[in-house]
Amino acid sequence: MAWWAAYSKEGGSADDVVFLREGFSWWALLFPLPWLAIKGMWIVLVIAVAAQFLIWSIAEALGFGEAMRMVFSLLINLVLGFEGKDLLRWSYQRRGFSEKGLVQGDDLEEAEYRFFTEIGLPAPEVEPPPALPAYGTSHNWKAEGPDILFPGFGRS
């Protein structure tokens, strides 16, 4: 079972809860820059790109070959794989989210179920739908004018 951290803004409803899985991020390892952009981690994205260019320029200045630059790039990807979830958590906290709880679950659906049954948030207040008219009180379903589509059929 995996651990999931639940984050929500203060005064937010149950629909505003975000669940972050703890542990290694394969998406951050394999596709680091698109992963950072999709998650909206713009500060981390700028830092990662700057670190990448800095390492490449230092490797170029020291005369390292293409293989060493590739190794350094993979090391940055590895760091993002291990620390990606923590950086995502930091980004959420900067946006005003706070941790509401930690739950276990095999997948997101089970973690959501356990969170809302064990810990939970106050249910949002929803207005009830308008009442329907009582059965048999409205006979306005028949048209007053002639039937243009099927002129031979009466309305009885």
Residue 140 has pLDDT above 60, yes or no: no
Residue 65 has pLDDT above 90, yes or no: no
Q: Residue 95 phi/psi, 5° resolution?
A: -85, 0
Closest CA to 141 of 130, 133, 129, 151: 133
pLDDT value of position 98: 85
Quick: pLDDT tens for 8-55. Answer: 887 767 777 888 888 898 999 999 999 999 999 999 999 999 998 998
Domain locations in the chain as residue ranges: 2-119
Of the pLDDT bands very low, low, confident and very high (cuts 50, 70, 90), residue 109 is confident
Average pLDDT in the 93-121 region? Answer: 84
Q: Residue 5 phi/psi, 5° resolution?
A: -100, 130
